[in-house]
Structure 1
Amino acid sequence: MRAMLPDAGGSVLPGEAPEPEPADDEVLIAVEAYSVNRGETFQLDGRLDRRRPGWRPGKDVAGTVVRSAADGTGPAAGARVVAHPPASGWAERVAVPVHSVAALPDSIDAVTAAALPLAGITALRLLRAAGPVAGRRLLITGASGGVGHYVTELAASSGAAVTAVSSTPERGAQLLELGAAGIVTSPADARGPYDVVLESVGGASLPAALARLAPGGLLVWFGQASRTPVALDFFDFFDGPAQARIAHFDYTRADTTYAAELATLIRLVAGGRLHPEIGTVRDWSRTAEVIEDIRGRRVRGNAVLTVG
């Protein structure tokens, strides 16, 4: 079958891959659309040392089940689905455990669905890690990305007063429409204090955001998009928020089954309560081009490729 294969330059090339061989608890999906995430660009360029022999990228897919699971669980052949495989989704077909697949209603197309899994699951689990947000002040950095977009809309609709950090006011404009109480271009410009900070940029962003926590506040650290390591000075805490807490977050650590969250995301989209921001839709032959546009921050929201 045709698939996108990692190349030596940190990108992908079209090529041939073996047909998937589903396990008894896996369905075989004919992929109609997939999304490219920033984390996958890190894997491709070696920034995340998670590549295994035979590894191919692809964690967000939507399509049609062409073979149901041998153990009788999960959707039947012919069902439209959204799925979150561990890898290998940038291909004509992919095998996915039934615990990471959810049915799609006719009202949601494959392009919209493909923009949901990784960013949407991360947003749901981040907000669980943050605790109840109704009536609380929340600051999120890197808010123009897919995760930030979903967190802003979900938190605002739950009653949080969200301040979103976006690189430019233009990139943050849609976040105001989704319920953000304010937009700033740097955490240093945020007034605070905040009960919760969700930080994903790294570098100087984390210390600046940490200084804006309320006493006893929580900072959840879930990424380092700038690729710049964070430096913290312990003595700065004496002038900062008393009893501030920092929690590391990895959406895969607590649970590696995703069907429930995928079903929740689909329900929210179908009900008009969640609105994916799709910055570009292109044929999958242009995947390498999209990867470079994501690295150059030329895509706002999700980038979706259609397989045809």
Structure 2
Amino acid sequence: MRAFLPTGDPAQPVVIAEVPEPTPRPDEVLVRVEAFSVNRGETFKLEAPVRGERPGKDVAGLVVQPAADGTGPAGFARVVGHPMGGGWAEFAAVPTSALAVLPDSVGAVRGAALPLAGLTALRLLRAAGPVLGRRVLLTGASGGVGHYVTELAAAAGAEVTAVTRDAERGARLAELGAARVVHDLSDAHGPYDIVLESTGGEALAGALARLARRGLLIWFGQAGRRAATLDFFDFFNGPESAVIRHFHYLDADTTIGHDLATLVHLTAQGRLHPEIGRVADWAHTATALTDLRDRRIRGKAVLTLS
């Protein structure tokens, strides 16, 4: 079968090659991939690829071989899955615990846009706790995660302030429910009950300064790729006794499959709208990766297999 392999070259991060078809473990299904999405974090990992690993975590397609242990969907079921690798290919082996069935109303393109970004947003808001009536500040809001967080948090009753440098992307975040959109962190005045920070560098200290006393800051990314420095005494200027929590989307009490099913259900009901900035044939995967890395794509990029 054909699959994308990493090159280590930032200008051409992947190339297509012939590789053996995966052999599923007893608790895995074999999926014929119809669409997959790429994530900005994956572009960073491709700069220093691990020998033998194949990239790809977000896939949608058709089950062509059910799991040998009898778990998961039957053959020919349409599914969305989140394997830990190998998804940018014609076929992917996906654990049954990381699958959800797609209804007819949710196509493969929208399904493929859900997993990593949607799981991160859903679990991030669970970590934040009840948000009804709470003031929430979201940095780095114009990516795939940011759109999902904005829509889910606003629907749950939060007053969301989204930070994005792009006016067009800001207008879309307002449509999804953001109460305020600012183009620089300095324009977000606060104080905020909850801060969801994904930029790192100087932005972390700036976001912390806008947190309310005993508030919660969840640090879920470092998209700016710059280390952050905090001063202990800054807490006394406003966010006294605040909590800073590190977040990783795989550290959860529910299975990936359970939460994927929730995301699919919300999408099917028109309560969640995957923000897809580009859909292209998978031959253009390398270009999509470099454009996503350089912030030329709003939301998600999805590649389709003919």
TM bucket (normalised to shorter chain) is over 0.9
- State the alpha-carbon separation in 2 of the partners of residues 8 and 291 from structure 1: 13
One of 107, 110, 123 as aligned partner of 2:108: 110
One of 28, 31, 35 as aligned partner of 1:29: 31
The 3-state SS of whatever aligns with 1:173 is helix
* Aligned residues of 1:188 and 1:209 also touching (Cα < 8 A): no
Question: Is 1:42 the equivalent of 2:44?
Answer: yes
Deviates more, 1:216-225 or 1:37-46: 37-46
Q: Which residue of 1 aligns with 2:69?
A: 71
Q: Which residue of 2 aligns with 1:9?
A: 9
- State the alpha-carbon separation in 1 of the partners of residues 166 and 276 from structure 2: 18
- State the alpha-carbon separation in 2 of the partners of residues 190 and 244 from structure 1: 18
Question: Is 1:271 the equivalent of 2:269?
Answer: yes
* Aligned residues of 2:58 and 2:114 also touching (Cα < 8 A): yes
The 3-state SS of whatever aligns with 1:132 is coil
- State the alpha-carbon separation in 2 of the partners of residues 288 and 53 from structure 1: 19
* Aligned residues of 1:186 and 1:205 also touching (Cα < 8 A): no
> Counterpart of 1:84 in structure 2: which amino acid?
H
- State the alpha-carbon separation in 2 of the partners of residues 221 and 8 from structure 1: 28
Q: Which residue of 1 aligns with 2:51?
A: 53
- State the alpha-carbon separation in 2 of the partners of residues 36 and 76 from structure 1: 27
- State the alpha-carbon separation in 2 of the partners of residues 183 and 208 from structure 1: 17
Q: Which residue of 2 aligns with 1:132?
A: 130
CA drift of 1:135 comes to: 0.6
Instruction: Count residues with an aligned counterpart.
Output: 304
* Aligned residues of 2:137 and 2:160 also touching (Cα < 8 A): yes
**Unaligned ranges ≥5, structure 1:** none
- State the alpha-carbon separation in 2 of the partners of residues 129 and 56 from structure 1: 30
CA drift of 1:154 comes to: 0.3
Q: Deviations over 1:35-56 (max 9, x none)?
A: 000111011013xxxx543101
* Aligned residues of 1:126 and 1:251 also touching (Cα < 8 A): yes
- State the alpha-carbon separation in 1 of the partners of residues 207 and 55 from structure 2: 32
Question: Is 1:306 the equivalent of 2:299?
Answer: no
Change (3 A) 1:256 1:291: farther
> Counterpart of 1:247 in structure 2: which amino acid?
R
The 3-state SS of whatever aligns with 1:227 is coil
Q: Which residue of 1 aligns with 2:288?
A: 290
* Aligned residues of 1:24 and 1:70 also touching (Cα < 8 A): yes
CA drift of 1:132 comes to: 0.3
CA drift of 1:8 comes to: 3.0
The 3-state SS of whatever aligns with 2:97 is helix
The 3-state SS of whatever aligns with 2:162 is strand
Deviates more, 1:99-108 or 1:164-173: 164-173
* Aligned residues of 2:123 and 2:252 also touching (Cα < 8 A): no
- State the alpha-carbon separation in 2 of the partners of residues 115 and 242 from structure 1: 39
Deviates more, 1:190-199 or 1:6-15: 6-15
> Counterpart of 2:5 in structure 1: which amino acid?
L
Report the TM-score, using the length of structure 1 for normalisation: 0.97
Q: How does 1:172-211 map to 2 (within 5 A)?
A: 172-211=170-209
CA drift of 1:256 comes to: 8.0
Moved beyond 2 Å, runs of 4+: 253-257
Q: Deviations over 1:219-264 (max 9, x none)?
A: 0000000111111122222223111110000011335830011000
Q: CA RMSD in A?
A: 1.1
